[in-house]
Amino acid sequence: MTFLLIFSACFFLFYVAIILFASYKISKPVIQQSVRNHSNNSYTIVVPFRDEIENLKHIYSDLLDLRFDQQRLEVIFIDDHSSDGSFEWLDNCDMPTNFKLLKSSKTGKKQALTQAISQASGSFIITTDADCQLHHNWIKNIEDTIDLNNPILIVQPVISEFKDKLLHQFQYYDSLSLLGINMAVFNTRNYPSLASGANLVFQKEAFIKINPFRDNCHIASGDDMFLLESFLKSDPNSITLNYSPGNLVVTKPENSWVKLVKQRMRWTGKMKRFSNATSFYLGLFSVVSQVILITF
């Protein structure tokens, strides 16, 4: 019993330290080197969705408010067989000419992403989810990162929204802890071990060449991690991680402890499919942290 208490206390202190580290990193202003010659790349934001009519109303507004050259920006919404009127709501919107609405011909997020990317005009693809909140300089910050690093893939920060309920605050701090660990791994090994499809940037040409979903379309989840692992195998030195505040995306938290634990169990189960052992242990860390911190 004494050992368990000591272990839990040490784990808790480690957890707090990681959260403080991540909080400092994502809140610290990043002074980037001046970029003399912008590359003038074009960008396509892909938003897959299924039954998310309320979320779409918010992200649609955020996408309209992005401060970026609209001649070099395209937005593709792709419907993965919604039944709540999501597609119809978007279809009735007076969309700008650089916004497109598609219906996925096959079921599943990977299939929807693949179809949208195949029709994208941008040289870089940016993926996000319908329940996300976006910074108005999001694309500008992404372009600065590309001009400085010339990556084929950028892993960017996603945190859970901070709300009044203890459950939501717990998810906020837990997401910070995962960001902190991912940053620590990147600083040590020079590559990230976690990625979220809510905030990923990659070259369209590289995606088509690597074809990361070729052998896993039958698996319901894991599009982001399968993509990360495939890119790591192809060219690990051309992958970067940018956790500056302007690159941050905020996502909605789960509304019950049961849903949260089930979500993290799915994440851990998904990690077992990857050859990167660090990713598995990070998923396991997330589940263990749920149990220890709830009972602490």
**Cβ neighbours for 57, distance < 8 A, ≥ 6 positions apart:** 89
Number of domains present in the structure of the chain: 1
Q: Considering the domain boundaries, does residue 12 fall inside one? A: no
CA distance 239 to 237: 6
pLDDT per residue, tens digit, the chain (296 aa), is 565 555 455 555 555 555 555 555 555 554 455 454 567 899 999 999 999 999 999 999 999 999 999 999 999 999 999 999 999 999 999 999 999 999 999 999 999 999 999 999 999 999 999 999 999 999 999 999 999 999 999 999 999 999 889 889 888 988 888 888 888 878 777 878 889 999 999 999 999 999 999 887 777 777 888 899 999 999 999 999 998 888 999 999 988 888 887 877 776 666 665 555 555 555 555 555 555 555 55
Q: Considering the domain boundaries, does residue 91 fall inside one? A: yes
Beta carbons of 49 and 80 less than 8 angstroms apart: yes
Beta carbons of 240 and 154 less than 8 angstroms apart: yes
Q: Considering the domain boundaries, does residue 10 fall inside one? A: no
Neighbours of 158 (CB within 10 A): 24
**DSSP letter (8 states) at residue 77:** E
From residue 178, how far is each of 13, 183, 196, 252 by CA, in Å?
15, 9, 11, 16
Structure confidence by residue, pLDDT tens digits, 248-262: 999 999 888 888 878
Structure confidence by residue, pLDDT tens digits, 13-27: 555 555 555 555 555
Structural domain boundaries enclosing 143:
34-165+174-253
Q: Read off the CATH number of the domain in which 157 is found.
A: 3.90.550.10
Q: Considering the domain boundaries, does residue 38 fall inside one? A: yes
Q: Considering the domain boundaries, does residue 100 fall inside one? A: yes
Length of the chain as a residue count: 296
Spell 258-274 as b/e; 16+ CB within 10 A means b.
eebeeebeebbebbeeb
Whole-prediction pTM value? Answer: 0.85
